[in-house]
Amino acid sequence: PEALAGTPRWLNTGTEQLVIPLADAAAVAACRPGLAAFEAVATNAVGVAQALVWAPDGAQIAARFFWVQHGAIGEDYGTGSAGANLGGWWLDQHRPLPLAVTMVQGHGIDRLAHVRLAVSQAGDIEVGGRVVEIGSGEMLLPD
């Protein structure tokens, strides 16, 4: 509880997620969610357990995104929907605008992503970054 730096909030700017502000980047790095507890607190209205933990880290934001899939907790290295929901959290908490920041995610799996988040004075949320293709495929369906 001492690592919390504000009220966790459910946000939905396209995908409902629990957004949890933490005190610092060390608290973000220390996150080790247990499956049962995570599912109990981070399951949204459609039955998907997912949460973003984040904290200011100098001029950037340190973040980790967890979700449950096939009975195990996974960690995503770059989550645009979580960036958008962090923008929603920023608006919900009446934080100063405009906001332009980079959310660095993927620390827990040694695969960093840099997600750009901007929230305009009018409350418009923009998320961006570079995408690198890591695979492709083709599916053929029988006639």
CATH number of the domain enclosing 24: 3.10.310.10
Q: Quick one: pLDDT at residue 108?
A: 80
* Residue 139, in any domain of the structure: no
* Residue 116, in any domain of the structure: yes
* Residue 4, in any domain of the structure: no
- The residue range of the domain holding 22 is 9-128
* Residue 133, in any domain of the structure: no
Q: Residue range 122-139: average pLDDT?
A: 88
* Residue 137, in any domain of the structure: no
Is the pLDDT higher at 130 or at 17? 17
With a cut of 90, say whether residue 1 has pLDDT above it: no
With a cut of 80, say whether residue 116 has pLDDT above it: yes
pTM above 0.85, yes or no: yes
Q: Per-residue b/e over 82-121, b at no fewer than 16 CB within 10 Å?
A: bbbbbbbbbbeeeeeeebebbbbbbbbeeeebebebbbee
Q: Quick one: pLDDT at residue 131?
A: 72
* Residue 68, in any domain of the structure: yes
Q: What percent of the chain has pLDDT over 90?
A: 81
Q: Residue range 78-82: average pLDDT?
A: 93
What total number of domains does the chain contain?
Answer: 1
Q: Residue range 26-43: average pLDDT?
A: 95
With a cut of 80, say whether residue 132 has pLDDT above it: no
